[in-house]
Amino acid sequence: MVDTASSIELGFIGFGNMAQAMAQGLVNSGALPGGRIHACAGHFDKLQATAEKLGVNAHREAAEVVEASDFVVLAVKPYLIEQVVEPVRDLLAGKAVISVAAGRDFAFYESILAPGTHHLSTIPNTPIAVGAGVVACEQRHSLTDEQLGAFVNLFGQIALIEWVDGKLLSTASSVAGCGPAFAAIFLEALGDAGVKHCLPRATAYRLAAQMMMGTAKLHLETGEHPGAMKDAVCSPGGTTIKGVAALEKDGFRGCVIDAIDAIQGA
């Protein structure tokens, strides 16, 4: 097994939106060249076209991907995991297996992988495509120290890696994995509001997007409580506090919490 990120051969079984986002982030950031990435998918013609854009190696069979790779990312729908693992179960025993399937934890993989297989369950999010992602990882795993170091060194270049207890992986996924959809709705809404008050749409979106990115960066770099960050913008009797009051009246925070509750109850 390799011990440096630059020498990893990375494989994807399944190459849908999340796998493509991960590959794009690695390639575009220079963390891993496309020539060290291998992928297979249900529709080979479509895979070839996608892989060519990133310089990724397209394979017809999962076994080819596993044999070519040190780390194998299982990136199919959760209900397909057992189906794709079964034919390559023995081959996976010598690899580091990384799951990105929701609801598939350490205990699940212990039950379907060959005994002694090294594996880790994770939930990434789509901003990983631009090197600003999150990878929520289950604390319980069976990677070796060498494999774990290589994983962190590689994906830590394009994402915040956050370790959580297995029972909290679903919640972490709801916040970070589903959150981009909520953030995109907020971005769109701010843009619509700007357009309503005569800003060109592209300008409104750029302003809102940069504001969201900057606010998030400010919190990550300072650790300041979000409430304090909000208070710092709200002058007594000023414009911002009037907007905050309107959001509170309409139950903005409650709606966000309800959204997470809905996902957790699904």
CATH code assigned at 99? 3.40.50.720
Determine whether the annotation assigns residue 22 to a binding site.
Answer: no
Nearby residues of 86 by Cβ (< 8 Å), 6 or more positions away: 112
Determine whether the annotation assigns residue 76 to a binding site.
Answer: yes
Pairing of strands 10-13, 118-124: unpaired
* SS3 state of residue 26: helix
Confirm if 12 and 157 have CB atoms less than 8 A apart.
no
Q: Is residue 109 a part of any domain in this protein?
A: yes
Residues paired with residue 138 on neighbouring β-strands, in sequence order: 164
- Cα separation, 255 vs 251, in Å, equals 6
Residues 13 and 109 in one domain: yes
Query: What percent of the residues of the chain are helix, what percent strand, and what percent coil, each to the nearest 5?
Result: 60, 15, 25
Q: Is residue 81 a part of any domain in this protein?
A: yes
Residues 132 and 257 in one domain: no
Determine whether the annotation assigns residue 211 to a binding site.
Answer: no
Domain end, chosen from 120, 144, 163, is at 163
Residues 145 and 218 in one domain: no
Positive or negative torsion for Cα 106, 107, 110, 111: negative
Determine whether the annotation assigns residue 53 to a binding site.
Answer: no
Residues 14 and 131 in one domain: yes
Domain count, the chain: 2
From first to last of its 266 residues, what are the pLDDT tens digits of the chain?
A: 454 566 899 999 999 999 999 999 999 999 999 999 999 998 999 999 999 999 999 999 999 999 999 999 999 999 999 999 999 999 999 899 999 999 899 999 999 999 999 999 999 999 999 999 999 999 999 999 999 999 999 999 999 999 999 999 999 999 999 999 999 999 999 999 999 999 999 999 999 999 999 999 999 999 999 999 999 999 999 999 999 999 999 999 999 999 999 999 86
Q: Is residue 1 a part of any domain in this protein?
A: no
Positive or negative torsion for Cα 59, 60, 66, 67: negative
Determine whether the annotation assigns residue 132 to a binding site.
Answer: no
Residues 22 and 48 in one domain: yes
Determine whether the annotation assigns residue 42 to a binding site.
Answer: no
Residues 139 and 19 in one domain: yes
Residues 112 and 243 in one domain: no
Domain end, chosen from 128, 163, 198, is at 163
Determine whether the annotation assigns residue 200 to a binding site.
Answer: no
Per-residue pLDDT, 7: 83
Per-residue pLDDT, 5: 62
Domain that holds residue 44: 8-163
pTM of the model: 0.91
Confirm if 92 and 67 have CB atoms less than 8 A apart.
no
Per-residue pLDDT, 265: 81
Q: Is residue 24 a part of any domain in this protein?
A: yes
**Domain containing residue 257: CATH number:** 1.10.3730.10
Confirm if 30 and 55 have CB atoms less than 8 A apart.
no
Residues 27 and 152 in one domain: yes
Determine whether the annotation assigns residue 185 to a binding site.
Answer: no
Residues 28 and 139 in one domain: yes
- Cα separation, 13 vs 84, in Å, equals 8
Determine whether the annotation assigns residue 2 to a binding site.
Answer: no
Determine whether the annotation assigns residue 257 to a binding site.
Answer: no
Per-residue pLDDT, 50: 93
Nearby residues of 215 by Cβ (< 8 Å), 6 or more positions away: 229
- Cα separation, 27 vs 51, in Å, equals 11
Q: Is residue 2 a part of any domain in this protein?
A: no
